[in-house]
Amino acid sequence: MSNLSIRGIDPDLATILKQQAQASGKSVNQLVLDVLKEHTGLHKKKQFTQEYHDLDFLFGKWTDSEFQKIQEKIDEESQIDDELWK
C-alpha cells in the first residue's frame, strides 16, 4: 500500500472534510479514500444488499399466540413426506 501526501488544502476544505468524516463515523483519511475511489470508478457497489422497508410495520405486531400459530404452520409445511422420496 502506498502513501500519498496532498499539499495545499485550504482551511475551508479541511473543515468540510473533518465535518463530513465525523458525520459519517470515518477518519478523514478513510473519507478521502472513499471519495477518491468513488470519483475514479474504483468504488464497487455492493450487489444484492438493497434494504427494503415495506414490511417494517409488521415487526413487533404479532402476539405470542399469533406467532405460535404461524410457527406451527411453518413447521408443518417443513415436514418431508417420505413417500415422495422413495
pLDDT number for residue 52: 84
User: Which band of pLDDT confidence, cut at 50, 70 and 90, is reported for residue 33?
Assistant: very high
- As a dihedral over the C-alpha atoms of residue 17, residue 21, residue 27, residue 33, rounded to 10 degrees, the angle is -70
User: Which band of pLDDT confidence, cut at 50, 70 and 90, is reported for residue 29?
Assistant: very high
- CA 30 → CA 10, 21, 46, distances in Å? 19, 8, 18
Percent of the chain scoring above 70 in pLDDT: 100
